Structure 1
Amino acid sequence: MLVEDNAGWHRSKKVKITSGIKLEFLPPYSPELQPAERLCKLGDEPLVNNCFETIDEIEELLVKRCQVLSEMKEEIRNLTFYHWLASI
């Protein structure tokens, strides 16, 4: 089973599904089923409204951002922790 969100490219008729794989789509507007999705804004923050000359520039910026995020444990927990996760 492959679980995907409802992004348009996941539902494209051009996508070929290999036999033996069953697709299951998350319901719309259900970030609690994919907690990591709530981190996108934190990860994307330094990239927004910037222009980069090379991939290396983007990579360097993202490495620095990951280092910052690794110190933001409480903020990340607040974004991704749901009460029902404690019982799993």
Structure 2
Amino acid sequence: MPDGITLVYLPPYSPELQPAETLWRLVDEPIVNKLVPTIDDLVNTIGARCCDLAERQTEISSRTNFAWWPKNHTPS
């Protein structure tokens, strides 16, 4: 491990410590409780949803920018 880097191990289930976990509800919304006939249909549906979500930065930020989450820092 390089100097200045410290690993922090998270508990096995800790969605509140992993902001990306809050996005699953948005990603799987188009397929919840629906029959997806083929794996290709599933890949295309989820791919289209991810492209749509990429355009909705404000919504993504509101779900992942927690007050306690470290902010980006520009190295000096």
Normalising by structure 1, we get a TM-score of 0.63
Q: Secondary structure at the match of 2:69?
A: helix
- If each structure's strand is expressed as a fraction of its own residues, which one has the higher value? 1
- State whether structure 2 residue 30 is matched by structure 1 residue 46: yes
- The count of residues paired between Structure 1 and Structure 2 equals 66
- Quick one: higher RCO (CA 8 Å, sep 6+), 1 or 2? 2
Q: CA deviation at 1:84?
A: 2.2
Cα deviation, 1:13-64, whole Å, max 9, x if unaligned, reads xxxxxxxxxxx525x6x53311111101100100111101110000010110
Normalising by structure 2, we get a TM-score of 0.71
Is there any run of 5+ residues in structure 2 with no aligned partner, and where?
Answer: 1-6
Q: Secondary structure at the match of 1:85?
A: coil
**Maintained 8 Å contact 1:38/1:80:** yes
Equivalent residue for 1:71?
55
Pairwise CA RMSD: 2.4
Identity of aligned residues (%): 39
Q: How far apart, CA to CA, are the structure 1 residues paired with 2:29 and 2:22?
A: 13
Q: Give the 4+ runs in structure 1 shifted more than 3 A.
A: none
